[in-house]
Amino acid sequence: RNAYDSAPKRYRAHFLCLLVRAATTEGERSEGCVRQTWGGVWKAFPELQLWQELRQLIQKKCQVHGRQAKRDRSRSPHRKAEKAEAEFSTWAKRWRKMMRAVLPGGEAAAVPWSDPEVRKLCAALWRDFVDLVEKAQTADSEGARRALGLFRSEKRGAADVAAQSGAAPAEWAFVPSADLLLLVGEGIVGVSVEGVFADGFSSKRLPFATAIFQTMM
């Protein structure tokens, strides 16, 4: 915990995201059960609860309001894929379409997180979600705004070199790009040591500016 408190904010935020993803993955692989040691982790890092609540809000935003899951009796993979896509909200469908356009097919390639088009995609998705949270007046909105503080940049002091040169301060210390793409792009986006990719076999990609224009048509 001492190392966490002493680290720069961007590393703290990244660490929280990794912990929650690790716990979530373990739970999915063991039917919702995780080891008891995770209780100690949650106790040592109470910030995890805030981030988990924000993740749940992202998932909620991806769901169609008022729709209940129905049992799928179809044996056709194509029919199942169409039905799964119909379970997502209009907001999520728009971003999923952009992900498929910007990211290469996983069978062909993966792109690193430093890729400019991936960075544009993640920054725009994060900005869109944050705007919705800041404007919302629901019971969950207050907690969500507190959770956003985990990722905002800290105030810079007089010793900051960038501040002395007159550079505009960055609003965010860290953007949870991997979590955004995996949550909104559930079932179509994957992450590996090589980078990020979408489902498919083609390595062809569109620039983010072109992809966002196409989704408006």
CB burial string 108-118: b at 16+ within 10 A, e below: eebbeeebebb
Q: Structure pTM?
A: 0.84
Residues 50 and 146: beta-carbon distance below 8 Å: yes
**Cβ 34 vs Cβ 42: under 8 Å:** no
> Which H or E element spans position 190?
strand 189-192
Instruction: List Cα–Cα distances, 58 to 130, 158, 181, in angstroms.
Output: 10, 36, 11
Residue owning tokens 């224009």: 213
pLDDT per residue, tens digit, the chain (217 aa), is 899 999 999 999 999 999 999 999 999 998 888 999 999 999 999 999 999 999 999 999 999 875 554 544 445 444 445 557 788 999 999 999 999 999 999 888 899 999 999 999 999 999 999 998 988 877 777 888 899 999 999 876 544 545 555 566 789 999 999 999 999 999 999 999 999 999 989 889 999 999 988 877 6
* Sequence-separated (6 or more) residues with CB below 8 Å from residue 138: none
